[in-house]
Chains A and B, each alone.
Chain A
Amino acid sequence: MLDLLSGFVVELRRAGLPVSLTEHLDAAEAVRHIPLEDREGLKYALAATLVKSSSHWRAFETAFEVFFAVRTPGSGAGGGDPDSELDGEGEGEQDGAAGTGDGGSRGQGRSWQGGGGGEGMTPEELAEMLFKSLLSADAALMNVVARNAVDRYAGMEPGRPVGGTYYLYRTLRNLDLEAVLAKLLGQAQAGAAGGQGLTDLEERLAADEYRARIEKFRRAVETEIRRRLVEDRGAEALARSVRKPLPEDIDVMHATRDELAVLHRVLQPLSRKMAVRLARKRRHGRKGPLDFRATMRRSLSTGGVPIEPRFRHPRPAKPEIFVIADISGSVASFARFTLHLVYAISSQFSKVRSFVFVDGIDEVTRFFEGVVDPAEAVARINTEADVIWVDGHSDYGHALTEFHRRWGDEVTSRSSVLLLGDARNNYHASGAWVLEDLQRRARRVYWLNPEPRDYWGSGDSIIAEYAAHCDDVVECRTLRQLEKFVGDLE
């Protein structure tokens, strides 16, 4: 058990969770108090000691599912009857890995036909059973359907080096969940009390309910696939392939749709935390001048003798900031995140003005005025900003020249200029003289480049020319890097 726990902790650290030695010891201590058969209890005991932040939960859960996978009894015997299979799959059952004590046992070509009665199911029967299980929200039935679906559709072969998501995709595509949802809703409409159909509200509630059930089913399929993969390849190998990065470490430019959704959810609390942190840093940096009144009041408790002086809070000047963002192609999502973050902490700056460009440039400050949630404004930018001049391919030279012509005078010595882009100029003129001029005028000029450092200067990237006139060029691919940069700003 201790070995298994150590392997688990190592995996968590690889996924990016900061698990310290003390926490590891606490986990070992905690596990002693949980009865062996209680898998859920084990999960929560480990979570309480090893996971100290809610954004790490997803990575923890994935690793837990891999390391402490449920083993079905008798699956090696070539399929017991469906009833014993059902028992094996029930929650809170067999902590199989711990029980056998060798969590990473390589599959000895275990038979895939685990669900004894499933071999003979036709697609129609399977679809029918799926429909019934979703209609009645029967968890045990869902598990049986999941197992049979994976048997039939996933096409898993022992030893095949394919990741779990491929099997999941194949299974779900064959089951056609969208059609099932439509059918469920149709049935609900038809069967409504009084035969008049559902009101809009009821329809919406029913849709949400079925979606939740389908999500449960999807997770059951995922668990089943993972279980088989663990049996085949062992825990460590699988953990490496299904390891999900923490939200802070997702590479924004290459994020999948799901990862982008996760990022959006994390962005709002993150920006709030940053605003709080920056505000505190600002206030407690230095001490200001002596505050005479406060000192005298304090001295009352010591008989009128001022023993402890009180100082005024210093009020350092807030910088102005100009954000100039490239929103072409792949850099677009990165630019959106940065704009969102900058506006979320805009109370730290006395003025924020933002501009976006592709080959033409446009000021988008007006979208952010008066808006509480930056995400709405960011969405508007896509549709309403006027950034195409000739052909919609990046032209940094023209964009910078335009900026200089229209707004260059407004950059003062109190401003900081922030440029976002990958500096891929499509071999147009560079316009680096604009940056030279800006650097002379402004307090600071920074460039944030979302490409990995190794790619800088390759192809049509002319970052080196621009870098000569910037105070700093920062590689900024993940939220973590962005956070660090904004925290160090000024």
Chain B
Amino acid sequence: MAILLEGRKVSRNFGGLAALLNVNFQVRSGEIVGLIGPNGAGKTTLFRCITGVHPPTFGRILFKGEDISKLMPHHICVMGITNTHQVVKPFPEMTVLDNVRVGAFFGKGWVRGEVKDATQEALRVLEFTGLTSKANFLARNLTLPDRKRLEVARALATRPELLLLDEVVAGLNPTEVDRMIRLIQQLRESGITIFMVEHVMRAVLSVSDRLIVLNFGEKIAEGPPDEVARNPQVIEAYLGKNYASGKSHYA
């Protein structure tokens, strides 16, 4: 499989704090890659580096071989990378349909936008994400699960090749988690590559082909989910040194 996204020694500093340090990673087209790590590990920062919101301080990010580390977010979106936000950011006073239409209008390959076409595309995406019945609701009136879906729908409408999902499952109840997992699998089947940050292990272990683990801004492990889950370094990062070496009082 061809490499779609590649990070070479990606580093990002906030003042004196190194939020990311020399992170190398690859995402191949058609994959679902999970990005995990304890709180503050730099997962969202890495996503922001990729989308151009916080460009990397050092290092390069290549999308289909092209350096995108210095481009503006909207430019990166038009190239085919879109993300969803960890804290959902709908356009609150717009209808659900209009929210998605923004994505359809401004995303990839819409230099000349016809209102009619964008609306059609938006309706198609709403159908796919199961929001059709709420198309005319104002986004601020949606429930959290629906807002998360709207995030995905709006991102999808930009027709990304690579979709970055930042904790789309967090805060959902078990049934909703299953629905979201099914949606993610459908996305992959439709040919979209997915790179996702997730804390809900059930979700990330069940859909990912490969996991990347960050801790304190550095990559500590990478590989298939079951292998990573047994990696002592990963267990240590999540549960502490004692647990990893089997000396825990709680084990």
- The judgment on whether A and B are partners is no
